[in-house]
Amino acid sequence: MEKKVSVTSPSMPPFDEFVEEIRDLWHSRWLTHNGPKHNLLMERLQSYLNVQNVCLFANGHLALEMAFEALGLTGEVITTPFTFASTTHAIVRRGLVPRFCDIDPYTFNMDPDKIEALITEKTTAIVPVHVYGTPCDVQRIGEIAERYGLKVIYDAAHAFGVSINGKGIGSFGDMTMFSFHATKVFHTVEGGALSYSNAALTPRLAQLKQFGLVGTEDAVAVGTNAKMTEINAAMGLCNLNHIDEQIEKRHIIAKRYMEHLKGLEGIRILHPNENVRHNWAYFPVIFENYRKDRKMIIEQLNVNGIFPRKYFYPLTSDFVCYNEFFDKTDTPIARYAADRVLALPMYADLSIEDVDKICSIIIE
Ligand SMILES: *Cc1c(COP(=O)(O)O)cnc(C)c1O
């Protein structure tokens, strides 16, 4: 096999465009710490994401930790085990205890029907994930949070550019985290952001990502270093110029996958709702009593130089580092999903020929 097809591949802006964008840094030497590119990207994201406030970070994970800290969470947090390591790790690293809620069998997002049973007097927040870019049931989660006085912090690492009835996905809950990691729909190489409506949180977030310093002499919080650099912001500005075109390319690929795989006995495809502007971040398929099992399909694809991923497998509650902590029988639907899901290659520059080939290997 001369060529490898991975589950994802970063989008790159035209080289000359990036060079042009970073040229003035050689004169200004303003490389980090709220530089002009950082500020411009922040403004442009506010408008693209259709949210009131955006705070940029060095990565999505630190943004999530800072969100929990800025909102003063304590005690227990209700979350999903069907996610990337970061969601659960951020909770635990902030000294909070995750309470795992099972997922909805159709969206693979946190099941709102199962949240209330997990609420105790120690619960301070709900941390759902918009898995694969599919929006959570934001309405019902919002109602529950309101009734019990809980904060809601969404992990929207997969959901850049998604909207519900024209409302930006980052405008729900108290805060929403976006990841701008290289493999995401929109990226700054490494990077991330929080969106939020309460502008009073802005100075707090600014302190936390800059060592808790105010002015040049004193620290008012035990902050960390989580600032986005000008080089990363420059990459973001370039990528943002092409984002709609990139999402449209992903949509064309998704349609091709669906043409091939729709209606196949034993293969399920997740569909976004009618009222959602989707971003086609991933193309997950679920093997439910398909002729071949997931392992055999992965092997066959690998032989042909194609590398899909069991995303998400295992559940974060199954990680070795959490071995002693959680009851593993708590989330049977999440376990069912993790055992059957496969994320097929999906990125803007994936060729239609490769999609055809992947599907014919699966079908054959
Ligand atoms: C990528 C990802 C993150 C972390 O983002 P980074 O920018 O890589 O730190 C968090 N949650 C989910 C669901 C992710 O996929």
Look up tokens 């912001």; give the residue. Answer: 233
- CB 232 less than 6 A from any atom of ligand 1: no
Rounded to the nearest angstrom, the distance between the alpha carbon of 93 and the centre of ligand 1 is 15
What span, in angstroms and rounded, lies between the C-alpha atoms of 42 and 90? 23
| pLDDT at res. 325 | 74
Rounded to the nearest angstrom, the distance between the alpha carbon of 231 and the centre of ligand 1 is 20
pLDDT band for position 222 (50/70/90)?
very high
Two tokens at 164? 């519900």
What span, in angstroms and rounded, lies between the C-alpha atoms of 178 and 180? 7
Rounded to the nearest angstrom, the distance between the alpha carbon of 157 and the centre of ligand 1 is 5
Tell which atom from ligand 1 comes closest to the C-alpha of 180.
7
What span, in angstroms and rounded, lies between the C-alpha atoms of 81 and 120? 19
Look up tokens 């009618």; give the residue. Answer: 274
| 3-state per-residue secondary structure call for 54-87 | EEEECCHHHHHHHHHHHCCCCCEEEECCCCCHHH
Residue 185: phi and psi, rounded to 5, are -55, -45
Residue type, 1: M
165-172: average pLDDT: 97
CA-nearest residue for atom 2, ligand 1, is: 157
Residue 328 has pLDDT above 70, yes or no: no
Residue 36 has pLDDT above 60, yes or no: yes
Within 8 A by CB and 6+ apart from 284, the residues are 108, 132, 269, 270, 311, 341, 342, 343, 344
Residue 1 has pLDDT above 60, yes or no: no
What span, in angstroms and rounded, lies between the C-alpha atoms of 315 and 333? 11
Nearest in space to 192 (alpha carbons), one of 180, 174, 206, 175: 180
Residue 2 has pLDDT above 70, yes or no: no
Two tokens at 137? 């049931």
| Beta-ladder partners of 214 | 218
Residue type, 68: F
| pLDDT at res. 276 | 95
What span, in angstroms and rounded, lies between the C-alpha atoms of 224 and 130? 27
| pLDDT at res. 271 | 77
Strand ranges of the sheet holding 167-168, from the earlier edge strand across to the other edge: 167-168, 163-164, 276-277
- On whether the CB atoms of residues 6 and 343 are closer than 8 A, the answer is no
- CB 79 less than 6 A from any atom of ligand 1: no
| pLDDT at res. 327 | 66
Within 8 A by CB and 6+ apart from 190, the residues are 58, 59, 180, 181, 182, 232
Two tokens at 169? 């996905």
What span, in angstroms and rounded, lies between the C-alpha atoms of 158 and 135? 10
Helix, strand, coil percentages in the chain from 3-state DSSP, rounded to 5 = 40, 20, 40
Rounded to the nearest angstrom, the distance between the alpha carbon of 159 and the centre of ligand 1 is 11
| pLDDT at res. 273 | 82
Residue type, 156: A
10 Å Cβ neighbour count for 174? 20
What are 125-160's pLDDT values in tens digits? 999 999 999 999 999 999 999 999 999 999 999 999
Please tell me whether the overall predicted TM-score, pTM, comes out greater than 0.95 for this model: yes
Two tokens at 4? 């490898």
| pLDDT at res. 5 | 93
- CB 181 less than 6 A from any atom of ligand 1: yes
What span, in angstroms and rounded, lies between the C-alpha atoms of 60 and 49? 16
- CB 179 less than 6 A from any atom of ligand 1: yes
- On whether the CB atoms of residues 313 and 339 are closer than 8 A, the answer is yes
C-alpha distances in Å from residue 352, one per residue of 78, 95, 329: 40, 46, 41
The angle subtended at Cα 334 by Cα 330 and Cα 336, nearest 5°, is 105
Q: How many CA atoms lie within 13 A of 27 on its CB side?
A: 4
Rounded to the nearest angstrom, the distance between the alpha carbon of 28 and the centre of ligand 1 is 32
What span, in angstroms and rounded, lies between the C-alpha atoms of 210 and 83? 28
